[in-house]
Amino acid sequence: MTKPLDPKLIPKYVNQLVVPPVFKPFVVRDPSTGEVLSHNYTIFTTGFKQQLLPPDFPETLVWGYEGIIEDGSCFSATPGPTFEAVKEIPVNVQWVNNLTDPHFLPVDPTLHWANPNNMPTPEPPFQSFPPGYPLAQCPVPVSTHLHGGEVRSDSDGGPESWFTAGEEKTGPNFTQSRFTYPNQQEPSTLWYHDHTLGITRLNVVAGLSGFYLLRDPNNDIEPLLPSGPFEIPIVIQDRSFNEDGSLLFPNIGVNPEVHPYWVNDFLGNSIMVNGKVWPNLDVERRQYRIRFLNGSNSRFFNLKLSNDQSFIQIGSDGGFLRCPVTLTELLIAPAERADVLIDFSKVRPGTKIIVTNDAFAPFPGGDRPDPDTTGQIMQFTVLDTPPVRPVRLPPILNNIPILIPDVPKQTFTLNVVREETEPGPRELLLDGQRWESPISEMPQVGSTVDWVLANVSAATHPIHVHLVQFQMVSRQLFDSVRYLADWESLNGKPPLQHPTIPLDVEPYLIGKPMEPDLNEQGWKDTFRANPNEVTILRLRFAPQNIESGGSKPGVNQFSFDPTIGPGYVWHCHILDHEDNDMMRPMKVVSGLILESNPQSCCEVVVEGNTQLVPPALNNAPISDSKTVFAEIEKVCPEKVIISGFLRKSITYTAVLDNGVKEDNTITDDLPFQCIIDREDANENDSFMVTGSTVLCEVFANTQNFGAHPETNDEVAYNFIEKDIIKVCIRKNQ
């Protein structure tokens, strides 16, 4: 039986940092002109053993990416080799799943996950892991996502685009395993990682991630920066180990009676950098360009240098910042990247500088890291070399366009579902909706929109939006307790069974809005939504290189059609949260909005099945009240789609065994969708939605007994009722 390895027994800075090798492309050229048309790759996901711990410790079974690297050899590792991509030269990757053994980490089949064997969801008492559930452990599905990439959705590697070895089994959104990355966006530090529904956290811990560096030969800043051996991508990941070298991952859930293996925050007790635990890097006395990536599941890092030296951040997720930012510490959430310059030219030879971490875990309300373990990241040892002074950078690094919203804002909440008697959450949600709920985010191509996110949870959530880089607008404190109470009064407790009714945050705001940190004032694809704060981000569904005011709703300026394919997603990048439903689908739509009709109505029929359980009903009418909630989901030239729900409250009087009468109320939310044919609608028009229902009285008496179809319990009354709903839209004057 394996035993956990005490991280304090692992010697630090014995491992030497490894810089991931670079994949070698097959270069496709135009036969007549010699112009490079594309860089093509074949990349495998495979299993192997790798020396993550220092040399005196056993090797570790991991999964990683394998392919031909620059020296012509076939190489596999975690993190995988790096893609060196060039702007405007497309990359084509044939992804191949070579994972034929069962998953060695605990797949929790009670989550909504890929489920290639279509196994039924198990019920308690659950089986312990190992062995867990064989039908969940094998075969292993994978889906590789280019994080931060502007790509068509059928090359995005979404959560339901998975496939098993040999593509024998595929997900509902699978269309192809050969992906195209156009590389039309700004030069930046991207990364690729697995994104399979419900097991992303496991596949990434197992090793499936790597760097994708996009370069622009025509960029004016790149030649001024350290390059070659002085430019180093660094991915920081926390891990835990057993004494036999194997990875240690929780196999008892935070709520084991609900989810046997899932925990809401995996926090490893050891720090791995570029596939080596607590490594050392020998550096010359000169400036280095370090491309930091937080590749952890849940752990945030607040990085400092032990000699209190400052450093310069020049880039974030989506490319260069507008101006260089001098820092003494760097807070970086899971999936965030920071392009940093560290100058060792004035440091005395032989000096050892430790990169430290003091971010609480979970962030921000958890424990302070152990200074002997997770409080240390890696070490720099300064060599005795001639000092080389760094090149002076210009004050402006990047011309970032000013984005102006041209469609109405959207408001969302970040929810946690938990019972008071349970030790942890059951699930985490975006806007009260589960992953499988109907698509609610359908941005129009070319539009610019503000997303207003109200975080009513106790954690900071790094939220990632696929397809686009965006800009942060502000953060502001708000009365999250009162907001949540009013939101739940309006919507009910999550998870919701109806479209979310948005609640304006304005009446709950406290103080003044705070600008993003200086090193956040650039292109971002992942942002930190802090607890008790409203965070506003501005998304433009157009390429990065479009100038201010150069985009328009309904006009596609990408080099591809983002409305084609299965669509995109947005989610929390704490992978343990993402895997338990803190993720939502997003479908980009087209359709120019033309001219408006003042009013139109339609009728829909909603069926409700209400079960009244014992004790018996009093011989009296049942009071049946109904309220309609609806909102416009989509406006296009030929139709308007209205989504909503009918809230039915059934009030009745029950007679207890002792003859005492007791009033009871049952509330059902019944969703509906209404499509109204239209010939025109004006751009920037706003509408109001109204609705009414046909009310009826239902009578019952004590003679109406039956049996519950599943439990066979005695049932006092069971009826199905149809409600006709008339829904109208009227243009606001």
Candidates 234, 231, 314, 302; CA nearest to 273 is 234
420 falls in which pLDDT band (50, 70, 90)?
Answer: confident
% of the chain residues with pLDDT over 70: 88
pTM for the structure as a whole: 0.83
- What are the angstrom distances between the C-alpha of 121 and each of 81, 109, 117, 259, 407? 37, 6, 11, 11, 41
The better pLDDT of the pair 370, 677 is held by: 370
Instruction: Provide φ and ψ at 283, rounded to 5°.
Output: -125, 145
Token pair in block for residue 629 = 């909630």
% of the chain residues with pLDDT over 90: 78
For residue 209, pLDDT over 60 is answered with yes
Strands (E), 613-683: 616-617, 620-636, 639-655, 661-677
Token pair in block for residue 280 = 């050392």
Pairwise CA distance, residues 77 & 243, whole Å: 21
> What confidence score (pLDDT) does residue 467 get?
98
pLDDT in tens, 81-107: 999 999 999 999 999 999 999 999 999
pLDDT in tens, 641-696: 888 877 877 776 766 656 667 777 777 777 888 887 766 566 566 667 767 665 44
Candidates 107, 43, 409, 422; CA nearest to 255 is 422
> What confidence score (pLDDT) does residue 670 get?
77
Pairwise CA distance, residues 564 & 541, whole Å: 14
Q: Is 377 exposed, middle or buried (0-12, 13-18, 19+ CB in 10 A)?
A: buried
Candidates 316, 320, 318; CA nearest to 330 is 316
Pairwise CA distance, residues 537 & 469, whole Å: 10
Name the amino acid, one letter, at 668: D
- Using DSSP, state whether 466 is helix, strand or coil: coil
Helix, strand, coil fractions of the chain, as percent rounded to 5? 5, 40, 50
592 falls in which pLDDT band (50, 70, 90)?
Answer: very low
pLDDT in tens, 169-194: 999 999 999 999 999 999 999 999 99
Asked if 693 and 628 touch (Cβ cutoff 8 Å), the reply is yes
Q: Which range among 201-215, 542-556, 712-726 shows the weakest confidence by mean pLDDT?
A: 712-726
Pairwise CA distance, residues 48 & 99, whole Å: 10
> What confidence score (pLDDT) does residue 31 get?
92
pLDDT in tens, 620-633: 556 667 777 788 87
Token pair in block for residue 122 = 């198990």
Mean pLDDT of the chain: 90
Candidates 189, 375, 382, 426; CA nearest to 289 is 189
Q: Which range among 581-585, 606-610, 638-642 shows the weakest confidence by mean pLDDT?
A: 606-610
Pairwise CA distance, residues 239 & 245, whole Å: 11
In sequence order, the 6+-apart residues with CB closer than 8 A to the CB of 628 are 644, 645, 646, 647, 691, 692, 693, 725, 727
Asked if 189 and 204 touch (Cβ cutoff 8 Å), the reply is no
595 falls in which pLDDT band (50, 70, 90)?
Answer: very low
Pairwise CA distance, residues 642 & 640, whole Å: 6
